[in-house]
A and B are shown apart, each in its own frame.
Chain A
Amino acid sequence: MRKILVGVKRVIDYNVRIRVKPDGTGVVTDGVKMSINPFDEIALEEALRMRERGEAAEIIAVCIGPDDAQQQLRTALAMGADRAILVKHDGPVDPLVAARTLHAIAQKESPALVIVGKQAIDDDAAQTGPMLAALWDRPQATFASKVEFKGETLVVTREVDAGLETDEVDLPAVITADLRLNEPRYVKLPDIMKAKKKPLDVTDLASLGVDAGSPAQVVRWEPPAQRQKGVMVKDAAELVDMLKKKGLI
């Protein structure tokens, strides 16, 4: 029966106001709430629904991250993943490194499907899915908002700039989850208890034969240019007047 691999990245919670460190070496992470990347919750939810429909048998959540990322993997297990793999690595993980790692795991586990998020909300890279598909020499269906099995193929609706595109891909395949694919379930307390007993394997990049090095390095972080707060107008007439004066309408 089909296995599904899901990428689960540990990121700063999307509600946290991001602050760049004054020395320009990164963003403030001390005491900051960490969560599963929102798109990865959606990816996992989709996998869970497939299993609930009998379209998949086992769901494996994978994270490349620090030891603390066990928290996010436990959450994934509580949501319903069957087991989890933590590939231990401290410091930033380049999407190409993440893709190589997921590729190494895919070769071991032979999943029918790998679902990752469309993008991680920390690096905003949106690369890991297509990179994995390239290394694995398998189809990719990015920005998925609907995924349906049709025998051994998947019919995927994708949110593209022009509107909605539908593609058909053979299995195994890589899907990247967009926001409207589903609404992830909430974790219930008993499930958190049950999740503690589920298997969580810990390995590292070297054991999987992946080199963490990258020819691209971030050398400086800075806050973005700030927009100034503008003026308030009292009514529609004043607004239209001002826009006309500025030659904007």
Chain B
Amino acid sequence: MNKVLVIAEHAGGSLNPATAKCVTCAASVPDAEVTVAVFAADGAGVAAQAAALKGVAKVLLVENAANAQPLAAVLAPQVVKVAAGHGYVFGPSTTFGRDLMPRVAALLGVPQLSDVMAVESATRFKRPVYAGNAITTVEVAPGSVIACTVRVASYESAPAGGNATVEKLAVDVPLPSHTRFVTVSAAKSDRPDLQTAPRVVSGGRALGSAENFEIIYRLAAKLNAGVGASRAAVDAGYAPNEMQVGQTGKIIAPELYVAIGISGAIQHVTGIKDARTIVAINKDPEAPIFEIADIGLVGDLFTLLPEIERLI
């Protein structure tokens, strides 16, 4: 048995969908036995959601008031304790996982594989580098604990239908007080979550202002789509940071991605490569986005979008 520990991400009593994708990756390790660990102040609900995922053998619930917010410095020593006896520790390559997992790996004294996109064998993994312009195969020496973040865009969610046992665990380690959570200000959005939405509409620098960006929201509403943005649009203040798609933003894999007024810089494209269908609207017929778009339309977005809205 290869024992794989998956660290659950959750907020507001709900399991983050990235966790179900991590479980799929974890279950693809040959001869895997997947355990999900939930660190929370009050986590029975989240643990139950994790237990219902197919492929999960066991859920470990570590409740502690200090775990109310996911601070890496507080969670890492607990994860290390729980990870004892596991050959693999997986987390999602969301900001939660990217913050926590390297801290865990360093405490375990092992390297980490970031953004795992395929498990080739019990010791062989594929991961992208150079903004996805090269794919590497990494071999880990036997006997070393394997710490990974999972590129969630590469995996389907583990389906429901599991019935794992939930075990409460008391983890006794000294926790630091040098890091304190103050606040998180999530811009409230009624749009589907960017990372899991089947359709995403994104706007770029061409939108020109936050007011103009409203037409992106309008089209997204019509399509029941999530909303994304290029870095240029975020930097210019047209859209909030959590909407940035790309190498340094979110990597997504929707069924439909519509890029509007986005040139298609390599750093942007790396975030959408796994989209099923890419549509691009740009007034420049030479824009690089057309090299990778399945359907391209040359023209001024400010005349095309109202037309498209009318037609759907």
Name A residues whose Cβ lies closer than 8 Å to a Cβ of B. 12, 14, 17-18, 20, 27, 94-96, 99, 118-119, 121-135, 137-143, 145, 155, 158-170, 173, 178-180, 214-224, 227, 229-237, 239-240, 242-244, 246, 248-249
Contacts and interface: CB of A to CB of B under 8 A. Distances in A.
Interface residues of B, number: 87
B134 A27 contact: yes
A167 B129 contact: no
A242 B247 CA distance: 29
A142 B98 contact: yes
Given A163-B241, A232-B298, A236-B304, A131 B255 contact: no
Given A163-B242, A168-B182, A231 B295 contact: yes
B297 A235 contact: yes
A240 B185 contact: no
A240 B312 contact: yes
Given A96-B110, A126-B98, A160-B95, 5 more contacts: A27-B134, A130-B99, A162-B242, A230-B295, A233-B296
Q: Which of B112, B187, B278 has the most CB of A within 10 A?
A: B112
B296 A127 contact: no
A96 B179 contact: no
Contact of A167 (B182, B234, B240): B182
A169 B180 contact: yes
Nearest to A123: B129
Contacts of B248: 118-119, 178-179
Contacts of B296: 230-233
A239 B296 CA distance: 8
A137 B74 CA distance: 11
Contacts of A215: 110-111, 140-141, 143-144
Contact of A218 (B98, B103, B107, B138): B138
A221 B138 CA distance: 9
A161 B184 contact: no
B65 interface: no
B172 interface: no
- The majority secondary structure among interface residues of chain B is mixed
Contacts of B292: 227, 229
B128 interface: yes
Contacts of A167: 71, 179-182
Nearest to A214: B111
A236 B310 CA distance: 10
A166 B99 CA distance: 14
Given A166-B184, A231-B294, A121 B131 contact: yes
A96 B106 contact: yes
B137 A218 contact: yes
A169 B178 contact: yes
By Cβ-Cβ distance, the 8 closest A-B pairs, closest first, are A230-B294, A134-B106, A163-B186, A127-B102, A131-B106, A18-B133, A130-B102, A236-B307
21 contacts: A17-B266, A96-B106, A125-B112, A127-B114, A130-B101, A131-B103, A131-B105, A142-B72, A159-B242, A160-B95, A161-B96, A162-B11, A162-B184, A163-B185, A215-B141, A215-B143, A215-B144, A216-B138, A222-B137, A223-B135, A229-B291
